[in-house]
Amino acid sequence: MSFLKDQIETQNERPKDAFSLDFVGITNFKTLLVIRRNGKTFHLTPVIEATINLPAERKGAHMSRISESVVEIINDERNAHNSVEELSLQVLQKLREKHHYTKAHLKVNFDFFYETKTPKSQKKTFEVVNVTVDTWVAEKEENKFKITIEYIGNTVCPHAMENSPKKRTHMQRAIGSLAATGTLEEMPTFEEMVAVLKKSFPAETYSILKTSDEQAVIDKMFEKPMFVEDVCRSILAKAEETFKDKHLKLEAVARSLESIHKHDVIAKGHLTIN
């Protein structure tokens, strides 16, 4: 005579206002994730949002089943995950076993570290980008994936430089974003997308710089002044060349954190490959 045996599934009752809902679920769910790929191990601390559609005749979703699906997949083969994208698909497949849906969405956001060296002193550093992996599953539709990476770069104003007798201008940090949408087989790696973003700005940015490194970065920035529009187009051009053999929708956003204005400036663009 346990309480569980007699509990009422209020989620299965009919709601007062019978509207279907596009997505319901859990958000801001934090966990630990280990990915082993190409001989490397990546320790990630993602923030996850997992949602499903809810029909009009059902009052609520079984939220515990959604979180259980996330935890069971991550904990079940902790050392066997080949990619965040594959893991995401496994979570949604497990969720379908526990809670029927006709469409579902999983968003995984985390910081990703890559190794590089400073331009002059050649000191090894680990730099960070922000990554979001979105996965959509729907009945009678192909699974869809989207990877978005944000990279911190810089801009140097060519207009101010051109109009200054001493070639003085303003420069500032800028944020570049590249998103790739397609099927699981077509998804580029995080490292490939980071490489595109790094090459799309006047110069790379680093967490640690010695004096000689600082001057090298500044020199490079002034050798290649760019509007935020130039950066956005550069991201698209380099992504198109890098991923020319894939079938992808590419989206680029560049936002400059203006040093002489109280506002930011932004540029957005997109293209489809093949």
Q: What is the pLDDT of residues 141-193, one digit of tens each?
A: 999 999 999 999 999 999 999 999 999 999 999 999 999 999 999 999 999 99
User: Mean pLDDT throughout 190-204?
Assistant: 97
Cα–Cα dist 171/162, whole Å: 14
- Say whether pLDDT at 1 is over 50: no
pLDDT at position 85: 94
Report how far apart, in Å, the C-alpha atoms of 122 and of each of 116, 197, 211, 212 are: 9, 21, 12, 10
Query: What is the reported pTM?
Result: 0.92
- Say whether pLDDT at 12 is over 50: yes
Q: Using pLDDT thresholds of 50, 70 and 90, give the confidence band for residue 4.
A: low
Q: What is the pLDDT of residues 235-252, one digit of tens each?
A: 999 999 999 999 999 999
Where do the domains of the chain lie? 1-101, 110-274
pLDDT at position 207: 95
**Count of residues making up the chain:** 274
Poorest-confidence range of 52-61, 84-93, 113-122?
52-61
Average pLDDT score, the chain: 92
- Say whether pLDDT at 56 is over 70: yes
Question: Which has more pLDDT, 58 or 45?
Answer: 45
R_g of the chain computed on alpha carbons? 23
Tokens of 37: 């790929």
Q: What is the pLDDT of residues 102-144, one digit of tens each?
A: 999 999 999 999 999 999 999 999 999 999 999 999 998 999 9
- Say whether pLDDT at 224 is over 60: yes
User: Mean pLDDT throughout 11-22?
Assistant: 81
Which residue pairs, CB below 8 angstroms and at least 24 apart, start in 118-123?
Answer: 118/206, 118/208, 118/209, 118/210, 118/213, 119/204, 119/213, 119/216, 119/217, 119/220, 120/210, 120/212, 120/213, 120/215, 120/216, 121/210, 121/212, 121/213, 123/208, 123/210, 123/213
pLDDT at position 257: 96
Domain 110-274's class? alpha beta
